[in-house]
Amino acid sequence: MAKLAGASFPLSSRIAGAAGEAFDFGAWFEAWRGKQGVAPDAPLPTHLKVEAVDTFEALIPWEQLKDAAVQYAVDGAPLPKGGPIRLYVPHGSSECLNVKSVVVCKFIHDEEKRGEVSYGFKQTFSAEEMRLKR
């Protein structure tokens, strides 16, 4: 992901007191979208849904992702805690939108829920998820 995003930067340049290396979420998204063959003028998602290894989930309105950063390393090594990646949302409506141990990112297109924020631990699991997380 970091390679696709292009430039990395010290996380402390966006998040005071934070250490490590990060890349810009928006730059990564645009590069990823281009690689998928999505037209540059295609509508943006309304939300990003992230899921963490500990079953924490956050639904983040796209507008709040301005200046979002993805931390992927500390001193050049994978994150010692909170990895594989950690999402920081400096302009988010809640600190809970800064999600550690992110393992799934989903792009949501739902105009009816535009602007809606939610976060918390997942309460229901499919049978397949239960088999995978024994």
Residues 100-134: tens digit of each pLDDT: 999 999 999 999 999 999 999 987 667 776 677 64
CA atoms within 13 A on the CB side of 45: 19
pLDDT at 125: 67
* pLDDT of 13 over the 70 cut: yes
Q: Count the domains in the chain.
A: 1
What range defines the domain where residue 110 resides?
A: 2-132
Give the pTM.
0.89
What percentage of the chain carries pLDDT values higher than 70?
95
